[in-house]
Amino acid sequence: MKSAVKIGIIREGKVPPDKRVPLTPDQCVELMQKFPGVKVIVEPSVKRCFPDKDYITKGVEVAEKMDECDILMGIKEVPVQELTSDKTYFFFSHTIKKQPHKRKLLKRMLELNITMVDYETLTDTKGNRLIAFGRYAGIVGCYNGFRAYGEKFGVYKLKPAHQCLDQAEMEKELHKIKLPSSFKIVITGTGRVGGGCAEVFHTMKIREVSPKEFLTQTFFEPVFTILRTGDYYQQANGAEFVAEEFHKDPSKFVSTFLKYACKADMYIPCHFWDKRAPKILKKEDYLDKNFRIKIIADVSCDIAEPIASTLRSSTIADPFYGYDPLTGNEADFYSPKTIGVMAVDNLPCELPRNSSNDFGRVLIDSIFPCLFGDDPDKVIERAMICSKGELMPRFTYLSDYAK
């Protein structure tokens, strides 16, 4: 590490602006104490979940001095016109999957000799992500699913998560929820997102049952089950599910999720979906005479891909819409003929204080020691998409995309 390094916490330039921050005021102080050669400067912003005065109160400098900083850290993509040449940036760039609308961003970073470290590419030696907001996507997505059920059927009304100060206030709303004694919820996905979703169920003391119990037993209390890939996919030839085979070529498998859709009242997709895999819920599945699902809170939010009813992403301000199984089109959310859909694609933004605190904790504990100290596993180097005008070796596959 250089004798002195200045980190700039930039204000979010994307519209609508994100309220989350890489480091809370307390974490800025902790970082400077842990690494004496580091100074944090915070760019003024009126949109953050932690206002400028909270940083100033902690003795953190708030000033328009980002040009003096060596490293600039934000959350969402930095608008192309706001990039500064010859800097090292940390943010979610959404360029590694060749998203067409992010091409200009990567191209401009190369032109400006920027070193780009994408949070999404910070991984351990096994390729597991080290930092993400997935847990809060699951927490808020699950909460929004219950909120959608209450709204659609008029049985209770929950305060929107983004109107709550923090997770603790949001959880106080959970006592308002009234569910039928036979209510059943199914989740796909066992990672950070699914784990966050399960946290809400445990807070509500909803009982977890196995997939087999979910399908075969009758319950007189609300229950939920979490499905692994092998629970809702099988080989097309009828052979036993083998995870290695599925990951190698998922196109050889078929979805068996309909059997759960005929037993569940709510579905919360929290999975990672491979585009080569068959759809989980097809349009014709919704027309099955035993189809029971009333609410789909699609946390994964892959538009018009694995879940046919996810026609579009929704917004924090307007999170719900209806899906008409007969037409396959969007329709009135409150109609008894429609399935309620929640498909907000930036869920962690609804609990910015909590999600920022967890995010900063990982930065301090796992990322900054690699950045400012020894990095034998090359965590930072492997996460660099580009540096000094060139794509790094792991990301040369983006060459045609950048051009």
pLDDT tens across 44-69, in order? 999 999 999 999 999 999 999 999 99
CA 347 vs CA 102, 138, 299: distances in Å: 21, 8, 8
Taking alpha carbons only, the member of 77, 24, 38, 93 closest to residue 383 is 93
Closest by CA position to 261, among listed 281, 241, 284:
281
For 349-391, how does the pLDDT look when each residue is reduced to its tens digit (9 = 90+)? 999 999 999 999 999 999 999 999 999 999 999 999 999 899 9
Instruction: Please write the tens of the pLDDT for every residue from 232-270.
Output: 999 998 888 999 999 999 999 999 999 999 999 999 999
Q: Report which of 91, 67, 70 is spatially closest to residue 5, judged by C-alpha positions.
A: 70
The pLDDT confidence band at residue 16, using thresholds 50, 70 and 90, is confident
CA distance 314 to 299: 11
pLDDT at residue 1, rounded to an integer: 47
State the average pLDDT for the chain: 95
For residues 315-320, average pLDDT: 96
Average pLDDT of 29-39?
96
Task: Give domain 5-131+351-402's CATH superfamily.
Answer: NAD(P)-binding Rossmann-like Domain (3.40.50.720)
Enter the pTM of the model. Answer: 0.90
In whole angstroms, give the CA distance from residue 116 to residue 344. Answer: 27
Mean pLDDT of 273-293: 95
Residues in Cβ contact with 78 at an 8 Å cutoff, skipping those fewer than 6 apart: 10, 13, 14, 72, 89, 91, 105
Residue 3 has pLDDT above 70, yes or no: no
Q: What is the 3-state secondary structure (H, E, C) of the chain?
A: CCCCEEEEECCCCCCCCCCCCCCCHHHHHHHHHHCCCEEEEECCCCCCCCCHHHHHHCCCEECCCHHHCCEEECCCCCCHHHCCCCCEEEECCCCCCCCHHHHHHHHHHHHCCCEEEEHHHCECCCCCECCCCHHHHHHHHHHHHHHHHHHHHCCCCCCCHHHCCCHHHHHHHHHHCCCCCCCEEEEECCCHHHHHHHHHHHHCCCEECCHHHHHHCCCCCCEEEEECHHHHEEECCCCCCCHHHHHHCHHHEEECCHHHHCCCCEEEECCCCCCCCCCCECHHHHHCCCCCCCEEECCCCCCCCCECCCCCCECCCCCEEEEECCCCEEECCCCCCCEEEECECCHHHHCHHHHHHHHHHHHHHHHHHHHHCCCCCCHHHHHEEEECCEECHHHHHHHHHHC
What is the predicted pLDDT for the residue at 263?
Answer: 98
- Is residue 40 predicted with pLDDT exceeding 90? yes
Pairing of the two strands 38-42 and 61-62: parallel
Q: What backbone torsions phi and psi does residue 324 show, to the nearest 5 degrees? A: -95, 110
Provide CATH 3.40.50.720 ranges for the chain.
5-131+351-402, 134-350
* Fold of the 134-350 domain: Rossmann fold (3.40.50)
> How many CB atoms within 10 Å of residue 282?
15
